Structure formats: structure tokens, C-alpha cells
Amino acid sequence: MYLNLSWRNIWRNKKRTLIALASVFFAVITAVNMRSMQLGSYAYMIHSTARFYNGYLQIQNKQYWEKRSLENSILQDSLDFSRLKQVHHVLGLAPRLEAFTLLSFGNTTRVGQIIGIEPEQENKVTNLKTRLIAGEYLRQDDYAALVSKGLAQMLGLSLGDSLVLYGQAYHGQIAASLLPVKGIIEYPIRELNNSMVYIPLQAAQDIFLMPGRLTSVAIMIDENRHLKDVKEKVARLIPPHYRVIDWPTMLPELHQSIQFDNISGMLMLAILYVVIAFGVFGTIVMMISERVREFGILIAVGMKKTRLLIVTFGEIVFISLIGALTGILGALPIVYYFASHPIRFTGEAARSFDALGIEPVFNFSTDPTIFLNQALVVFLIALATFAYPIFFIKKLEPDKALRS
Amino acid sequence: MALIKVENLTKIYNTTAVPVKALNNVSVEFEKGEFTAIVGPSGSGKTTFLNMIGGLDKPSEGQIIVDGVKLADLKGSKLVEYRLHHIGFVFQAYNLIPVFSALENVEFIMLLQGVPKKERQQRARELLEAVGLGDRLNNRPGQLSGGQQQRVAVARALASRPEFVLADEPTANLDSKSADDLLDLMENLNQKYNMTFIFSTHDARVIKRARRVVTLRDGAVVNDQTSN
Ligand SMILES: Nc1ncnc2c1ncn2[C@@H]1O[C@H](COP(=O)(O)OP(=O)(O)OP(=O)(O)O)[C@@H](O)[C@H]1O
Ligand SMILES: [Mg+2]
């Protein structure tokens, strides 16, 4: 009967209830969409960046990131690749042997980065095949190189020419080799386009005199929100003297700019929350002040204030809950629509995206926690307005209320 | 022993710029089964007096003893419980919960008392039949006339099986026919069940129906007459 009383009180003034419901409803929709677009865009940026070269995570020797030396390598056989691959959310693992050497052709010499790769694995992590603009992609047992376009131009290299490699190998020995150019790849970023040379891992291990050794294993995962989870699982599968390094450590600028942007997004949300709070609050104040006399009578005839509060609380819970739930339902199709039809943007930002070879689109995240979190926050805000009736009813004196 | 004993009751309102002495040293007693009108001009203290007896407001001085219990000794929720179980209230208007039907309004007071559902529905129906609304059980207050609403209020006041009923100008918003009917009803209940009624009014026709008339002026009892 108390529930019944709450329920009927809600529908007593339909218009007002609908206004309160609508404000919660639209608040949830707006908050979910704002958040979804923001987090979706971050996820997209992170994903594109990870795909570019680094992956989301890398397994390395503990000193490798700081020293970048072949001396801080890891042993291929110490890693259980088949188990690592089975870790949930892992899309691919790319074992690499990376080193800087001198590269010459004819009379020209440049410094370049040699990356020994498992061609198919690498392609799974960084889509390297898609960067190929001439020639053919590497095979595991090739003894040949994919040279980035800028570097090839500087050296005057064409397909079929042989590239001279000269540098330092493991334990200070000398690395030297002659590698035929099998393909040309192109990067949208100049630094990479002028320096990258991919060769098969086996060839790299031979050249640098470090059979069975790697400098890193890049790991690609499906979504950034699983980063921590995957990182922990991977860490448990590798020898303790190795480390798993994540993209925020490898790319601190990207990490910071996202964090900074996120703060401004949160501020916007906070403003939205305040607006909602006042909207709901106004409705509650009206709802209460209309009923002063009724409350007075109820208390006079013997209804305890706590009971009265429960009934009033019930009304607010109903409104907030229905508003929040319908808000989720309303936001779902919008978010899913934009997730599958991303909004393309133009202008300055679009050009900088293009320059990185990333499509300039606003991606919407369909992460269910966004829906739940935003609906929960709005629901809690609506509930918080219950402080007013508590305050009001606590103070209510029946004789005064009856005289009003 | 008197059912209600009011001793040297004084009420001063300090909330206004000039303190108002709404009741001034009032001493009265009411016995079980009385049918009494509290009368007096507007502002004479009738509402204040009834509110004091009903435990809705606290005296500035003096005390009220109901059935041997000093109201001043009841604190907080004890006092609410006391009102719930011992007093029936009828107010001038808007007595009822607008979203509840007549039946539910009468039931509600018993719900507060913890009466089991079957019993409270049964009793509510009987009471509404007794006040002549057996065919209006499911109407909401908005669908009832003022007189009918006051009858529901009387039925509700009796539903809690109180020791007495306090009614502050129950007929003020009614036309004379409805007022007469309501008085008939109250008189009837008074005679049939020996239910005590104390009601305020300034309607001369209502005053005539009372067996005892207590007259207030400027917060003091100036006349107390019992007829047969
Ligand atoms: N909360 C209050 N604060 C200050 N003064 C009050 C308050 N309540 C009542 N009074 C004053 O106390 C006096 C008695 O008021 P009360 O309402 O008891 O009179 P009444 O006899 O019921 O009048 P009416 O016939 O108009 O209902 C009046 O002068 C009134 O103005
Ligand atoms: Mg009055």
C-alpha cells in the first residue's frame, strides 16, 4: 500500500512527472553520447597508433626500453608463444629484432633501422602488407629486405638492387650483409619513411649474430579497455626478468594529451550533471511544496515521518530509475548507429589525422560500462535531491502545516 | 476520572513580532461519551486548543492529561503513536489522501496501526457503510462532494478505534444540509458507540446540536454549559 501510494502520487501530476522523467532521460542520453564519443575517439586514436608500429604492449628485457642495446635482448625460446596467443583479447604477437645500422648503396650511406620480423605475424599486428607499394611482401625464409620509400629514394635504390648493411652486432662484433630489395613500403610519417628496413627475423638473427634472440615482442589487442587485463595476464606468462611495457609508457605524449582532453570532457559532463541536478531538484521542490497540508494531515493522524519519507523516497526512486533506464534504452540505438556510421570530420584536425594515415572520424564506443556509469551517475544525482524532502519533512510541524 | 484533563493551559506564540497569547490559563475536563462544541469568535483559540489536546503542538504552560497519561511525557515518535492509536482527527477540509479511494483512505490509518489486510478492508467497508457511503467505496476524494469527503474523514477517524474524536470546524466548508447530515452522523455514532466527540465551530445551528458548549474568548473559557 505504501508503494501503491508512491506510485499513484507520481501520476498525480502527470505533466510534472513527465518533465522530471524527461530531464533524467535526456540527461542520460546526452551524458552517454558525450562519453561514448569521447572514449570512442580515444580508443580509436590509441588503436590506430598501436597498429602503426608499437602495438599496445611489448615484451622486452627490463633494460631494453632505456638502453636500446642488443645486449639487452630476450630469448625467443623462453616465451611460450602459443599460450601468449591464447590470452583473451590478444589479436597478434610480433617478435622483432631491431637495430640501427649504416645502410649504403653506391656512394650514399644513411643510418637506418633494421627490423627483423616474422612476416605473417608482423602483418597481423601492424598490417605491414598494406604499406607495400612496390615489389612483394617478405617470406619467412627470404634473405631480402623491404625498404621504406624515402630511404630508397635517398639511396637511389630500386627493386632488385642490393643494399649494403654495416653495423654493430651482438657483443661488439661486426654485422655486415648484402640484402636484395624485395619490396618498397611507404609510411605517412617522414621519420619512419626515411629509416625503416624490414627483413625476416631469421636473417636478422644471422646478421647480428644472435640466433634465437629478440629485442621485443609487440602485442596487438582488440581494445584499449582490456589493456590492463591483458598486461597482467601476459606478465604472468613471461620470465620474471622480462617486462611488459604498455603504450602509455612507450608513447607518453599521446597518453598525456588524452588525459588532458579527458579532463575537459569531464568538466563538460560535470556541468551537464549540475544542470540535471537542478532540473530534478526543481521538480521535487514543487512536488513537496504542493503537499505541505497533506503531509501535515498524515503526520497529525499518526503517520511517522520516516514512513512519509519512505513514500516520498519511493516516488523519487521510481522517477530516477525509470528515467535512467529509458535513457539507456534511448541512448543505445544512437550510440550503435554512430559506432557503425562514424561521423567524418574536416579541418585542421582532419588533416593531422590524414597525415598519420588515420581516418578522420569520430568513433563512438559501445563499451557497456559507459551506459551503466552514466545512468548510475544520473540516477544518483536524482537520488541526491532526496536530501531536500528529508530536510523538509524532518522540519515539518503538523500544526503549522495544517494552518498553511 | 475525566478522560481529558486540561490544567492551566497557556499557549503563547513567539514567532510573531508581538507574542500572541492564544490560550490563557484554560482548565477544562472532558468525560467519556461527551458531544461537545468548542465555540468562540475567530482568533479566540479554538484551533490552538484542539491542537494542544491532539498533541500537535506543545503548551507554553500547564498540562494535558489524557487517560492518566501526561502528553508532555510523550516524545517524538511516541507522540505520533499516541495520536495514531488514541485520537481520531477530522479537519476542516482536504482531510483525505487524494490519490486513494474512500476505502483506501479509511484502510490507510489501520495500515499505519498494523491491522492485517483482511480485517482492515472489512472494517473500512463497514465504517463507510455506517456513514452512508457504501456505494462510493472506490471513489477518490475528487469524485466526492465536500459532505461525502467529511463523512469519509469521520469514518477514517473512527477506523483507528480512538478514545475520542477531535474535529476542527468539520462543517465549515459544507452547505447547511450536508452540515446537518454530518452532525446527524456524529450524533448517531456518539449515541450508538458512546464515542466522544469534541468539535469546534462557529455555526449557530451546529452549536445547537451539542450537548455541551465551551465558549472561548481571547484564549480563555468564558462559558461552559451543559444541556440535556
Ligand atoms: N503559528 C502561530 N504563530 C503565531 N500566532 C498564531 C499561530 N497560530 C495561531 N496564532 C494566533 O493565535 C490566536 C488563536 O488562533 P486559533 O487559530 O486558535 O483561533 P481560532 O479560534 O481557531 O480561529 P478561527 O475561528 O479563525 O479558526 C490567533 O490570534 C492567531 O492569530
Ligand atoms: Mg480555527
**Per-residue pLDDT at A370:** 87
Ligand 2 midpoint to CA A289 (Å): 22
Cα A200 to Cα A59: distance, rounded to the nearest angstrom: 19
* Least trusted range by pLDDT, from A112-116, A300-304, B52-56, B75-79: B75-79
Contact B107 A1 (CB under 8 A): yes
Residues of chain A with confidence (pLDDT) below 70: 355-357
pLDDT one-digit tens code per residue, B168-208: 999 888 888 888 888 998 898 899 889 999 999 988 888 99
Q: Which of B91, B109, B111 sits opposite A402 (nearest CB)?
A: B91
Q: Which 8-state DSSP code applies to residue A359?
A: -
* DSSP class per residue in A231-276: HHHHHHHS-TTEEEEEHHHH-HHHHHHHHHHHHHHHHHHHHHHHHH
Contacts of A311 in chain B (CB under 8 A): none
Amino acid at A260: F
Judge contact between B145 and B182, C-beta under 8 A.
no
Q: What is the pLDDT of residue A16?
A: 83
The answer to whether residue B222 neighbours chain A at the CB level (below 8 Å) is no
Do the Cβ atoms of A303 and B80 come within 8 Å?
yes
pLDDT of residue A403: 78
DSSP sequence for A149-214: HHHHHHHT--TT-EEEEEEE-GGG-EEEEEEEEEEEE--SSHHHHTTEEEEEHHHHHHHTT-TTEE
Q: For chain A, what are the domain ranges?
A: 2-50+255-403, 63-240
> In sequence order, which ranges of chain B are alpha helices (DSSP H)?
46-53, 77-86, 102-113, 117-130, 146-159, 176-193, 204-209
* B1 three-class SS: coil
Classify residue A130 by its DSSP letter: G
Q: Report the share of chain B in percent with pLDDT over 90.
A: 65
B217 alpha carbon – ligand 2 mean position (Å)? 13
Specify the residue with its C-alpha closest to ligand 1, atom 3. B13
**Chain B residues inside the 8 Å CB shell of A12:** 98-99
Instruction: Give me the CATH number covering residue B14.
Output: 3.40.50.300
Q: What is the ipTM of this complex?
A: 0.89
Task: Decide the pairing of beta strands A74-75 and A162-168.
Answer: unpaired
Does A3 lie at the interface with B, CB-CB under 8 angstroms? no
Per-residue pLDDT tens for A252-307?
A: 988 998 999 899 889 988 998 888 888 888 888 888 888 888 898 899 888 999 98
B111 touches A: beta carbon within 8 Å: yes
pLDDT surpassing 70 at residue B228 = no
Domain of B76, in residue numbers: 4-226
Q: SS3 of B9, please? A: strand
User: What is the DSSP code (8-state) at residue A215?
Assistant: S
A-chain CB neighbours of B120 within 8 Å are none
Spatial distance between the Cα atoms of A252 and A36, rounded to a whole number of angstroms:
23
Ligand 1 binding pocket (C-beta < 6 A) is A 400, 403; B 13, 15-16, 20, 22, 40, 42-48, 202
Instruction: Report the domain count for chain B.
Output: 1
Question: Looking at the DSSP assignment, which residues form a beta bridge with residue A242?
Answer: A61
Tell me the pTM.
Answer: 0.74
Distance, in Å, from the CA atom of A101 to the CA atom of A110, rounded to the nearest integer, reads: 8
- Rounded-to-integer distance, Cα A402 and Cα A400, Å: 5
A181 forms beta bridges with A145
Q: How far is CA A299 from CA A306, B6, B79, in A?
A: 10, 23, 10
